[in-house]
Amino acid sequence: MADFEALYDPPGDSEASVADLQARYPSLSRPLARRLLRDDTHTRLDTRARQVSEAVPLVRVFEGLYLPALLNQDGERLVFKVVEQLQDWPAQLRIELRAGSVDGPVRARIGSLKATHTQVLVKSVEGYRSPGQASAGDLYQALFDALPLARRQALGDAQALRQQVLTLATAQRHQAARWLWSHQTFDWPAQGRLRGGVDPVHGYPPQVISQHPLAARYRRLFPKHTNEQMELDFNDWSLHWLDEATRLRELEEQYLALRNTLERWHGGRPIRQAAAKAIRNCWQRITLIEGENGQSVHSLELTDLELSDADLADLQLPPGFDHVQELDLARNPGITRLPQHWLPRMPALQYLPLFGCRFSQLPELEAPERLLALDLDDNRITWNAQQQVRLNGFLNLKILDLSHNPLIEAPNLAALRELRYLGLSGCCLTQLPEALEEIDAPDWLNLSDNQFTHLPDDLQLSAEAARVLNLESDALAPRVHEQVDAYYDQHQIDLLVPDDDYEELLEGNSAEQWQIWQRLPLQYRRDLRDLLQAEPFLHQPELGRERLWHQLERMDADMLFRTVALNRPARELLSLQVVMG
């Protein structure tokens, strides 16, 4: 050991600067301090010294794994942790390493405190010794001798155990700091107790994350994050062998660079200033929206800012947006294409609201299969073979809205096996899209305001799809109306109007009222939706429903009243009065 120290840290008078650096960073040895003073400029010295000082403890641990004479208690704990992971550890076996004697303080432990069989290794000035060893040796030999016979036979000898520990520890070095020094317990055992003292603390005492010394700096970067999110981030950094202080400095530098980039980009122009604020908010994880299933979605929201292709092209988006799940460029008529140079910064992108822009073709993505929602309502897309090829790449798309585009030709939906919401309203279509019947249990199929000339004679829609289909249009050919009526006669499902359109009228109705509703002529039922756009439904919907059902029940019981009502516009039903003479 002395020879090693002489080589590693040779004697010599410390210069004042070396002593000063060691005083500020006690974990630095004289050779490290000298090297930092020699290799680093004054402006970088503190940063480099802090980084090296923070890395030294783990470096020392790994030195001990390779050089047993340098093994400290953290190294012992790491060896035990790695050995426990080599194979499934027997539930009934516990191995403890104690200092001085079999009753000494516990330095490391493998296995549950409830295990029925315990092996105790002892560390003394001579080395490590298991109960079966006549003399002390290194930790690997002591551990090997304490293992069950089957494991010893599988390993071969202590040298093989050492090699496996070194291989696994090196491969999982990024987790070592978390195992050893994280404030979480990770089931680490109690470390003994003093006679007359308090009960031992099991594992490391949990730190109150809001009192973490770096919490204020973290909050300045991410002001909307909860304590739980802060703790998750700190733990994630530890998992990836990232020092918390170092990682925060990197993020602070990244945010400063972003602000400088955005200031140069907007140059005081109001449109770009508004966009720059939205981009900063997104980087700081402030912009969260509610997703389809109620989950939070990180959105870069640049909606309705009068941005143009040139505005987006001028901005080289810096790092820090890999959390972005939605890029919202909606209602910017000057945008005709995605900023392709932004997309590599957003590997988590899943949602693209692009309605109200001026796209003439579907966006091109490097990984289209990751996209879940594409909203291109009110753009300028006309369908062709190239568009179909791009659409086929969106294999996991759940939401597709191409409404109010002059498609003329309907897309083939065969590749979109996950589709749940489809918008093709006002697309100048004359035929239904191919594979429409293959959509399994959709929630919304809006094909209204088209010019369909006919429906397939063998239309095979599921009941779920038929009930959410909307084919309503003033431009339908007479043949379509005939087919819709025939479908209703056969299935009691209206293909023109989805069931949801009646939800407010039918809310809370009874079984008897449902039968009354079913006995109304189909077109009259459709026309009753006009009531929802007038009083009392607009401001007193409960009063409106009460009055509606009073009139409908009278229609069902009074044939004269029914005849009069059916010959008047449905929107007049609530005010209709027929006096019997």
Helix axes 158-171, 73-86, angle to 10 degrees: 100
More confident residue, 66 or 332: 332
According to DSSP, the residues that pair with 326 across neighbouring strands are 299, 351
Name, in order, each residue with C-beta under 8 angstroms of 475's C-beta and a sequence gap of 6 or more: 449, 450, 451
pLDDT of 79 > 50? The answer is yes
According to DSSP, the residues that pair with 530 across neighbouring strands are none
| Confidence band of 208 (pLDDT split at 50, 70, 90) | very low
DSSP designation for 308: B
More confident residue, 302 or 30: 302
pLDDT of 567 > 90? The answer is yes
How far is 49 from 55, CA to CA, in rounded Å? Answer: 10
Per-residue pLDDT of 117-166, as tens digits, reads 778 888 887 788 876 666 667 888 888 888 877 777 788 888 888 888 78
Helix (H, G, I), strand (E, B) or coil at 334: strand
Pairing status of strand 127-129 against strand 117-124:
antiparallel
pLDDT of 309 > 60? The answer is yes
pLDDT of 202 > 60? The answer is no
Per-residue pLDDT of 377-392, as tens digits, reads 999 999 999 999 999 9
How far is 259 from 253, CA to CA, in rounded Å? Answer: 10
Query: What pLDDT is stored for residue 100 in this prediction?
Result: 78
H or E element that contains 6: helix 2-8
The whole model's pTM is what?
Answer: 0.65
| Confidence band of 550 (pLDDT split at 50, 70, 90) | very high
Query: What pLDDT is stored for residue 487 in this prediction?
Result: 95
More confident residue, 245 or 34: 245
Domains present along the chain, CATH in parentheses: 2-68 (no CATH), 71-181 (no CATH), 286-500 (3.80.10.10), 501-581 (no CATH)
* Structure tokens given for 143: 């551990």
Query: What pLDDT is stored for residue 580 in this prediction?
Result: 59
| Confidence band of 3 (pLDDT split at 50, 70, 90) | very low
Query: CA torsion sign, 346 to 351 to 354 to 359?
Result: positive
Of the listed ranges 158-167, 171-180, 255-264, the least confidently predicted one is: 171-180
pLDDT of 87 > 80? The answer is no
Query: What pLDDT is stored for residue 342 in this prediction?
Result: 97
Q: Give yes or no for a contact between 62 and 81, defined as CB atoms under 8 angstroms apart.
A: no
Amino acid at 492: Q
Query: What pLDDT is stored for residue 482 in this prediction?
Result: 96
* Structure tokens given for 90: 């027997």
According to DSSP, the residues that pair with 122 across neighbouring strands are 98, 129
Query: What pLDDT is stored for residue 170 in this prediction?
Result: 75
Per-residue pLDDT of 265-294, as tens digits, reads 999 999 999 999 999 999 999 988 876 666
Q: Give yes or no for a contact between 71 and 43, defined as CB atoms under 8 angstroms apart.
A: no
How far lies 414's CA from each of 235, 325, 409, 430, 439, in Å?
A: 44, 26, 15, 19, 8
Chain-centroid distance of CA 551 in Å reads 51
* Structure tokens given for 441: 């249990």
Query: What pLDDT is stored for residue 230 in this prediction?
Result: 85
- Residue by residue, DSSP assigns 64-127 as HHHSGGG--HHHHHHHHHHHHHHSPPPTTEEEEEEESSTTS-EEEEES-TT-SEEEEEEEETTE
| Confidence band of 406 (pLDDT split at 50, 70, 90) | very high
For residues 389-405, give the mean pLDDT.
Answer: 97
Token look-up 């093989």 returns 160
pLDDT of 436 > 50? The answer is yes
Of the chain, the percentage scoring pLDDT greater than 70 comes to 78
Helix (H), strand (E), coil (C) string for 192-245: CCCCCCCCCCCCCCCCCHHHCCCHHHHHHHCCCCCHHHHHHHHHHHHHCCCCHH
Query: What pLDDT is stored for residue 289 in this prediction?
Result: 81
- Per the prediction, the chain carries an average pLDDT of 83
| Confidence band of 48 (pLDDT split at 50, 70, 90) | low
DSSP helix, strand, coil percent of the chain (3-state; round to 5): 45, 10, 45
pLDDT of 193 > 70? The answer is no
Query: What pLDDT is stored for residue 156 in this prediction?
Result: 84
For residues 492-515, give the mean pLDDT.
Answer: 93
pLDDT of 347 > 90? The answer is yes
| Confidence band of 6 (pLDDT split at 50, 70, 90) | very low
Per-residue pLDDT of 7-27, as tens digits, reads 444 444 456 666 665 666 565
Q: Give yes or no for a contact between 424 and 439, defined as CB atoms under 8 angstroms apart.
A: no
